């Protein structure tokens, strides 16, 4: 940490800063310039906090040197974190594609979508059972029923599922059904929720807040890691800016920068980042070209009937095209989109009655 003194700070003020550094157990190192004095802080700095100094008399500004995140940083963990979800490895050369509807709206809608995305080459099924909506009058999701439908789709199509959890007390329930717990953009700094998912052993997809900096995203990951859950994926899903032609501004700079700063896998969400289905395929290609480890994409069989996010959902046939194009970009990067694990097509009649028992709908423990 570097404490910059005002040009007209007094010797007593400088002395007080030096004493304060010593009191905190660190070593002050004053440098007397012609215009100003600067006090560098070295040694054991864990108890030295910038805010302790920035208001002291005579102090002009305080600059920190080290990143505030530790466990999430590549300095502390130089190798890429790679972990399994179902039969897929995330964070290695494989490009993992998660796809499905914004919301689970009905059993038939989800099974139809799952079937389509599985056939097109998706690995993991997404779908919201609990939906954060800015209006209290909008569709809020099917809740537990939605989780059960997701679990049924997992069994039929042999696809791990990712779904959002919105509150700490819902974590055990959602974790019973989901293979990956998603923390939504609006909850990126819901610290109670971060604590809760840090205490369980289930991979987490942590979405960047729409006005959160990369540093804040890594600090939120730090909460989860500090709780003991090391399987965290970062997700860039667009930030809020003045631009109005798109729902958000896709900050793809975050891909190479976050990969440099952190060892965690990074998933890109071109659906939310653009808000327009007609920009999803190009931006999916761009995200992979920038170095993302995977994609999460909204697909709906009939986007114009979707209860949420219709304008940014791909039709199944467009999603087929997306996978095809992403495969070519992956190859140009010496990476690859793995073949999905097989499923038993005979089981897959969306029109068939719901025959699975409750226990079969619950998740099998994933291989860790």
Residues 173-202 that bind a copy of itself (CB under 8 A): 186-187, 189-192
**144, 173, 200, 226: which one contacts a copy of itself (CB under 8 A)?**
226
**145, 199, 328, 356: which one contacts a copy of itself (CB under 8 A)?**
328
Q: How far is the CB of 122 from a copy of itself (least distance, A)?
A: 20
* CA 210/CA 240 separation, integer angstroms: 5
Q: How far is the CB of 135 from a copy of itself (least distance, A)?
A: 5
Q: Which of residues 52-71 bind a copy of itself (CB under 8 A)?
A: 52-57, 60-61, 63, 65-66, 68-69
**282, 352, 362, 368: which one contacts a copy of itself (CB under 8 A)?**
282
* CA 350/CA 63 separation, integer angstroms: 59
Q: Which stretch binds a copy of itself (CB under 8 A): 90-98, 121-129, 237-245, 351-359?
A: 237-245
Instruction: Tell me the DSSP string of 294-308.
Output: EEEEEB-SSGGG-SS
The widest CA-to-CA distance across the chain, in whole angstroms, is: 83
Using only the alpha carbons of the chain, give its radius of gyration. Answer: 24
State which residue, 152 or 251, has the beta carbon closest to a copy of itself: 251
Look at residue 344 and give its three-state secondary structure. coil
Q: Which stretch binds a copy of itself (CB under 8 A): 48-56, 110-118, 174-182, 228-236?
A: 48-56
* CA 300/CA 203 separation, integer angstroms: 25
Contact 50, 24 (CB under 8 A): no
Q: Which of 106, 89, 96, 122 is nearest to 299 (CA)?
A: 122
The yes or no reply on residue 89 touching a copy of itself (CB under 8 A) is no
Q: Which stretch binds a copy of itself (CB under 8 A): 80-88, 114-122, 240-248, 335-343?
A: 240-248
Q: How far is the CB of 12 from a copy of itself (least distance, A)?
A: 14
Q: Which stretch binds a copy of itself (CB under 8 A): 90-98, 119-127, 130-138, 342-350?
A: 130-138
**81, 274, 296, 361: which one contacts a copy of itself (CB under 8 A)?**
274
Q: Which of 11, 72, 73, 22 is nearest to 47 (CA)?
A: 22
* CA 361/CA 312 separation, integer angstroms: 30
Alpha-carbon 364 to chain mean position = 24
Site string for a copy of itself, 133-172 (x = CB under 8 A): xxxxx----------------------------xxxx---
The yes or no reply on residue 286 touching a copy of itself (CB under 8 A) is yes
Q: Which of residues 7-36 bind a copy of itself (CB under 8 A)?
A: 7, 29, 31-36
Q: Which of 187, 188, 178 is nearest to 124 (CA)?
A: 178
Q: Which of 123, 71, 84, 131 is nearest to 104 (CA)?
A: 131
Q: Which of residues 304-323 bind a copy of itself (CB under 8 A)?
A: 304-306, 308-311, 313
Q: How far is the CB of 36 from a copy of itself (least distance, A)?
A: 7
Instruction: Tell me the DSSP string of 115-129.
Output: HHHHHHT--EEE-BS
Q: Which of 198, 220, 224 is nearest to 209 (CA)?
A: 220
Alpha helices in 74-213 (DSSP H): 107-120, 144-157, 171-177, 191-198
**89, 92, 200, 249: which one contacts a copy of itself (CB under 8 A)?**
249
Q: How far is the CB of 362 from a copy of itself (least distance, A)?
A: 24
The yes or no reply on residue 216 touching a copy of itself (CB under 8 A) is yes
């Amino acid at each position: 940490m570097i404490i910059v003194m005002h040009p007209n700070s007094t010797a007593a003020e400088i002395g007080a800063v030096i004493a304060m550094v010593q009191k905190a157990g660190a070593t002050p190192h004053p440098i007397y310039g012609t215009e100003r004095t600067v006090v560098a802080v070295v040694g054991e700095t864990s108890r030295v906090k910038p805010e302790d100094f920035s208001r002291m008399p005579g102090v002009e500004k305080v600059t920190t040197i080290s990143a505030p995140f530790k466990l999430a940083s590549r300095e502390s963990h130089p190798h890429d974190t790679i972990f399994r979800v179902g039969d897929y490895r995330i964070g290695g050369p494989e490009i993992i594609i998660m796809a499905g509807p914004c919301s689970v709206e009905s059993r038939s809608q989800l099974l139809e979508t799952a079937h389509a995305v599985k056939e097109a080459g998706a690995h993991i099924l997404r779908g919201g059972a609990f939906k954060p909506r800015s209006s209290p009058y909008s569709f809020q999701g099917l809740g537990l029923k939605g989780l059960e439908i997701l679990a049924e789709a997992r069994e039929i199509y042999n696809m791990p599922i990712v779904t959002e959890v919105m509150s700490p007390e819902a974590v055990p329930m959602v974790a019973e059904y989901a293979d990956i717990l998603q923390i939504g953009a609006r909850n990126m700094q819901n610290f109670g929720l971060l604590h809760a998912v840090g205490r369980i052993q289930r991979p987490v997809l942590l979405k960047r807040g729409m006005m959160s900096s990369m540093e804040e995203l890594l600090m939120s990951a730090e909460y989860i890691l500090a709780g003991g859950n090391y399987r965290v994926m970062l997700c860039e899903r667009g930030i809020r800016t003045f631009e109005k032609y798109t729902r958000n501004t896709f900050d793809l700079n975050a891909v190479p920068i976050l990969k440099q700063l952190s060892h965690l896998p990074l998933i890109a969400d071109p659906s939310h980042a653009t808000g327009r289905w007609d920009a999803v395929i190009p931006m999916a290609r761009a995200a992979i070209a920038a170095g993302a480890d995977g994609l999460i994409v909204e697909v709906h069989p009939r986007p114009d009937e979707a209860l949420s996010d219709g304008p940014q959902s791909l039709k199944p046939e467009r999603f087929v095209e997306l996978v095809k194009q992403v495969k070519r970009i992956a190859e140009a990067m010496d990476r690859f989109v793995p073949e999905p694990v097989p499923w038993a097509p005979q089981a897959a009649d969306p029109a068939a009655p719901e025959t699975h028992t409750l226990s079969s709908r619950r998740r099998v423990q994933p291989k860790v």
